[in-house]
Structure 1
């Protein structure tokens, strides 16, 4: 199949799938999600994504009615039905179905599992990104991969309208992350990235890049940095499950980065090798 949808055990072409109007995703965005890529029938970094998925669900008190192995088996069963070599995979769990009310539905209401798959390749991380920025007005639980993404949507649309590849969030002058990516900087050979507190999502790609830096003698500094530091950085790196490790070249029309291409090349090479080895 070219596209495939899943809802609580029912499979079908994505464009033909429907969900109940009373699913709590429809009114509250009451759920959590994950997304990653697959190649050659192998799902990249699945354990890391499942760990984060279960952690996000636990933080909003959703009891996932599957083990990690059971959920992995469902994903692989779907993946086997896909025609393409490179696949984008998305799944979410909502709190369940019930008449709209802010309180949780009655005890015993089973959470709903949504999945979709479509053709999808990693972005070309060799192409430098133009960036814009926006004040970070999201709520203070950004570490939960929640379905509530309205501010992210507005930021992504701003970037799109300006011909930019991402929008950088900042709270005052402190950089947090991007609309749908993490953002880090390199300065004087040090890889600097916001700590994994409640202001940012603990990115899987970010985590892997940190390990790559440590394995290759690049100092890692997990402390907040400012917009001024970002503008003065040797390199600015945007990272996500689909962007991988993408350097930036411009912020609101001002040139940035491009001063340590050898370190960017090293990180990109090592990350691509990891992806290719795990999906071989």
Structure 2
């Protein structure tokens, strides 16, 4: 059964209620994580919770729960749901108070955890790859924070969908490609992996982290360094990473065919190596 936990209350998603004075609702004033469970076991929960703590600290939200307590809440909610292949959403907002930009000092954060069935992912996503578009970067300067304020990503995803693409890649004025609207980007050049450094321009994705580790175990050279749009367009392979779909090949960017228009061999090797981590 799909469940919601909210500040100690547990029930169905349909019954869950959040106050209209919640600062997440009024200001997008909060942070979140999404964790995937495989056969009842959450993958990289510790890494996700560590990043949640970093995001909260960056936006000056003091988490009142000890890490062990927070973990137990999530584990117990997943267990109570009975769902084996699940998506677990964890959200912390600054709290509830009458609307005002300056938050009250003694406000207690709100914790929401939802457990949903993992959506079906078509096999063609991996066997055929997806299309992407590029667009100018227009987000804030703290992309390393996993903020619930996702208006820019929503707009980028809408534009990608209208263009028949699955993802939008953000490009800085100097031509540097940073990340996707909901993914990290890897390109392959001369047999090496390249992804943008984990600075304020990108979210340091958990799957991104494990892809870099897998590359090391496979003896594949991996570099965290900036690359530009010309590097992207002439790449041998391109793939994106994220918690839900894991590793997805990109075969077309702005109408330009990448790697012959088919998923590449290194992408397949990396995905196979990653899959072995959660089996």
Q: TM-score range by the shorter chain?
A: over 0.9
Question: 1:126 and 2:126 equivalent?
Answer: yes
Counterpart in 1 of 2:16?
17
Q: Distance in 1 between matches of 2:222 and 2:160?
A: 28
Counterpart in 2 of 1:147?
148
Return 260-269 or 16-25, whichever deviates more.
260-269
Deviations 1:153-201 (A, max 9, x none): 0011112222211111111211010010111101001100000000000
What do you get for the CA RMSD once the two structures are aligned? 1.5
CA contact (8 A) 2:40 2:83 kept: no
CA contact (8 A) 1:212 1:270 kept: yes
CA contact (8 A) 2:90 2:112 kept: yes
* Shift in Å, 1:79: 0.7
1:108 aligned residue (102, 106, 112): 106
Counterpart in 1 of 2:254?
252
The alignment covers a number of residue pairs equal to 274
Q: Distance in 1 between matches of 2:219 and 2:24?
A: 44
Counterpart in 2 of 1:191?
193
Q: Distance in 2 between matches of 1:131 and 1:257?
A: 14
Deviations 1:14-34 (A, max 9, x none): 122110111101111111000
CA contact (8 A) 1:122 1:244 kept: no
Q: TM-score, normalised by structure 2?
A: 0.94
* Shift in Å, 1:267: 0.3
Q: Distance in 2 between matches of 1:78 and 1:39?
A: 15
Q: Distance in 1 between matches of 2:110 and 2:81?
A: 23
Counterpart in 1 of 2:264?
261
Q: Distance in 2 between matches of 1:27 and 1:85?
A: 34
* Shift in Å, 1:151: 0.6
CA contact (8 A) 1:185 1:235 kept: yes
Counterpart in 1 of 2:239?
237
Counterpart in 2 of 1:218?
220
Deviations 1:101-141 (A, max 9, x none): 11122x32110001111101574452401111211100000
Q: Distance in 1 between matches of 2:44 and 2:169?
A: 25
Q: Distance in 2 between matches of 1:176 and 1:119?
A: 31
Q: Distance in 1 between matches of 2:183 and 2:278?
A: 18
CA contact (8 A) 2:126 2:263 kept: no
Q: Secondary structure at the match of 2:275?
A: helix
CA contact (8 A) 2:3 2:114 kept: yes
Question: 1:181 and 2:180 equivalent?
Answer: no
Q: Distance in 1 between matches of 2:165 and 2:237?
A: 17
Q: Distance in 2 between matches of 1:7 and 1:135?
A: 37
Deviations 1:182-239 (A, max 9, x none): 1110100110000000000000000100111112111111111011110100011100
Structure 2 unpaired stretches of 5+: none
Structure 1 unpaired stretches of 5+: none
Q: Distance in 2 between matches of 1:71 and 1:122?
A: 28
